Structure 1
Amino acid sequence: MLPAERRARVVELLRRDGVVRVHELAVRLGVSAITVRRDIARLAREGVVRRVHGGATLELPATAPTSGGPGSGAVACAVVGLVVPSLVYYWPDVVRGVREAADELGLRVVLRGAGYAPDDELRQLGALVDSVGVDGLLVAPTTTGSQGAALVRWLRSAEVPVVLLERDCGDPGPGLLESVVSDHRLGTASAVRHLAELGHRRIGLCASAGSPTAPHLRRGWRRACEELGLELDGVPEASTCDHRDPDWSRQLDALLDRCRDSGTTALLVHSDPEALALVQRCQERGIAVPGALSVVTYDDEMAELCDPPLTAVRPPKAAVGRAAVALLAARLRAAGDRPVHRVVVQPELITRGSSAAPGVG
């Protein structure tokens, strides 16, 4: 049976029975539940049916969205699956942006946390598609290692539209993987330029070894230093463990020793917990911040709570969430071919008390 014939059969059954269930349709049509959900999603986008929990019903003219309203078009009433690696740090603002944009469009968001574990991410995504029957996915997946590669392959073959949050798979490859990312390289460069304008010539970097953001920070830091003619020889470029790791204190002291020995007067630190711990250790060792060492943190989740308040690069988290919903909604509305979109949003530099001219403060 051709796809068009199969969808016509779904509509025929709806006219007869009023409501159809996904699993019943799958058995009756001899196809997978995922195929049925894809058919229902397409019919819903065309305004023929209305999705209900576990199935669909015919769309009545009286319930159709009013043309021109905020939820107008095929996107209204769609269900969006949202999978993020943390519900505590960084990602709550992204989730807030997603929810704000979804509410404006009449979308329902189903949120899941996956804890930076590819197997859990895949399990959550599969459940959202197979059990919840979402119309599209917003996800910040693991993309590195063999498990990450397998997860990306799954996303590329997903039968619903996918928009990546703060992730970029690089090679376009097969499948429609759109993305919205913060321009972390530009954000890092803005911090380096700020410090250089204050008179710093040796600006180091401390980045979390396991963070997917770290490679972008390194590229942005190095390129900005080279473009500004800053010293790099001997300047620390540290890849540190998490601040909760037992080896953190040793690595932190080693980094501060390298700053002292190399004459490094400023340091860009990712992320906020590591930056706060570094400033605290500076105080314990009698290293004045910003007098002896200016510190700029990357994330701005808790930077203002430090003493002194930390100058910070703030990624546009809520804007990333809003832009991702807009991309997904546009994909759901698209009647024909639509180019793959990749959106880049600029971070903001927030100047506070932890950065000053060398020897000042």
Structure 2
Amino acid sequence: MDSTSPSGGDQWEPVPGTRQAAVLETVRQRTMVRLSELAAEFGVQPVTIRRDVTALANAGLVRRVHGGVTAAARSATQEAASGLGGHVRIGALVPSLEFYWPDVMRGAEEEAHRLGLRMVLRGSVYHATDERDDIKQLIASDVSGLLLAPTVVGAGGELIREWLAEAPVPVVLMERTANVGPMRRSVESVVTDHARGAAMAVHYLASLGHRRIGVALNAQSPHVEQIRTGWESACAELELDMGVTDVAIPERREEGYDHTMASIVEMAQETGTTGLIVHSDAEAVRVVQSAQERGLTIPGDLSVISYDDQVATLATPSLSAVRPPRRTIGRAATSLLAARLADSGRAPHRVQVSPQLTVRESSGPPPAA
């Protein structure tokens, strides 16, 4: 259910992940949008978009114009944050500058620019054993706050949690959560609801008539357990057989990668799986190619949904895909950090943003029995 604006609420912001939040983000990105375009893009009736825009306008977040809507002046929180700008630097540490994180950081940079903040970026590696030196380097560059996506599991995770408990500057985690200190204090964070994304894919395939839906997940991703949880819970809710294809895909450079990819379609055939959720795009493309080499049609014999959506449109057929809101994660995290810098006494926020499922050519009804 979408949020509605309280009266007199220029402090109100729509709940992240709702349609109103997505409409607001679209208007802020484009400055001016026609209502008819918004209705078409979000697949709703014009009257629904008008209600959303009215709620946003009543909160002072957008401004109605003839036939459309424009971005309004920034909120009081944003104005306070922008008062920090110019000379204020914020640092960011991400585990990769090649995959996933460039889009997150583009969103963070866009929001920092909008608020008049300067960004200092530093890269690390996935599953680092100790990222505190990287963080110290950022702090030494005179940053006032940090956006971090650190390792939070294993030995490295314990070191980071210890550091977070005594962090000398405000911190917002991106796609990570942590509870620190003796009272298990929550660190501010912005994360994707990956479990919900997987559940959306299961529900969509089930709506087409699929009764056996499997997953094949990249074991290197920190989001694997969340995606698996969403798949399992949705299958249980819909009373689907989830004892099908639960494959942990190794790293692409590992020796077992090719064998694992070749076995996925074979296992799907053996178990009667007709719908498959694959993380990520590269692996989904390999699954489709393997199926086609076996003489199967996509989606006639096997429907495939990728959990990624970075290059899904380049596949043949184009891949239906769940897309994590990478840019939104970066923007929201920067906004949280700016609000914390402007008001150090505000309550910690933990924001969860929903991904989106885009239906393309690789998914359809299951083969007739």
User: What is the TM-score when the length of structure 1 is the normalising length?
Assistant: 0.76
Query: Residue 118 of structure 1 aligns to a residue in which SS?
Result: coil
Q: What does 1:80-91 correspond to in 2, within 5 Å?
A: 80-91=90-101
Q: How much does 1:213 deviate?
A: 0.5
Counterparts in 2 of 1:167-246, with a 5 A limit? 167-169=176-178, 173-174=183-184, 177-233=187-243, 235-246=244-255
Contact 1:206 1:240 (C-alpha < 8 Å) held by counterparts: yes
Q: Which residue of 2 aligns with 1:79?
A: 89
- Report runs of 4+ in structure 1 exceeding 4 Å deviation: 67-71, 170-176
Q: Which residue of the partner structure matches residue 349 of structure 1?
A: 357
Is the counterpart of residue 99 in structure 1 residue 109 in structure 2?
Answer: yes
**1:270 is matched with which residue?**
279
Q: Deviations over 1:156-177 (max 9, x none)?
A: 3210011110111257855662
- The alpha carbon displacement at 1:210 in A equals 2.2
Structure 1 residue 110 corresponds to structure 2 residue 120: yes
Task: Report deviation, 1:359.
Answer: 2.2
**2:305 corresponds to 1:296:** yes
Measured after TM superposition, the shift of residue 75 of structure 1 is 5.4
Deviation at 1:153, TM superposition (A): 1.6
Count of matched residue pairs: 292
Contact 2:179 2:187 survives alignment (8 Å): no
Q: Secondary structure at the match of 2:188?
A: strand
Which position in structure 2 is the counterpart of 1:17?
none
> Pairwise mapping of residues 121-200 of structure 1 onto structure 2 (< 5 A)?
121-129=131-139, 131-169=140-178, 173-174=183-184, 177-200=187-210
Tell me, yes or no, if the aligned pair for 1:89 and 1:301 is still in contact at 8 Å. Answer: no
Q: Does 1:338 align with 2:354?
A: no
Q: Structure 1 residues 76 and 279, CA, compared in 2 at 3 Å: closer, same or farther?
A: same
Task: Return the offset for 1:229.
Answer: 1.3
SS at match of 2:131: helix
2-structure distance, mates of 1:330, 1:87 = 26
Contact 2:306 2:319 in 1 (8 A): yes
Identity of aligned residues (%): 46
1:283 and 1:240, CA in 2 relative to 1: closer, same or farther beyond 3 A?
A: same
Using the alignment, how far apart are the partners of 1:68 and 1:257 within structure 2?
Answer: 54
User: Is the 8 Å Cα contact of residues 276 and 304 (structure 2) preserved in structure 1?
Assistant: yes
Could you say which residue in structure 2 is the equivalent of 1:359?
A: 367
Higher Cα Rg, which structure: 1
Question: SS of the residue aligned with 2:318?
Answer: coil
C-alpha displacement of 1:76: 5.3
CA contact (8 A) 2:180 2:187 kept: no
Following the alignment from structure 1 to structure 2, what is the Cα–Cα distance between the partners of residues 310 and 112? 32
1:231-250 CA distance string (max 9 Å, x none):
123x1111120233221121
Answer whether contact 2:179 2:185 (CA < 8 A) is retained: no
TM-score w.r.t. length of structure 2: 0.75
Kindly provide the amino acid, as one letter, of the partner of residue 214 in structure 1. V
- Show structure 1 runs of 5+ residues with no match: 1-66
- Out of 310, 313, 323, which is 2:319 matched to? 310
Q: Retained in 1: the 8 A contact 2:322–2:358? A: yes
CA 1:74/1:175 → structure 2, altered by over 3 Å: closer, same or farther?
A: farther
1:174, 1:108 → 2: CA distance? 31
In 1, the alpha carbon distance for the partners of 2:341 and 2:272 equals 55
Contact 2:81–2:338 (Cα < 8 Å) also in 1: no
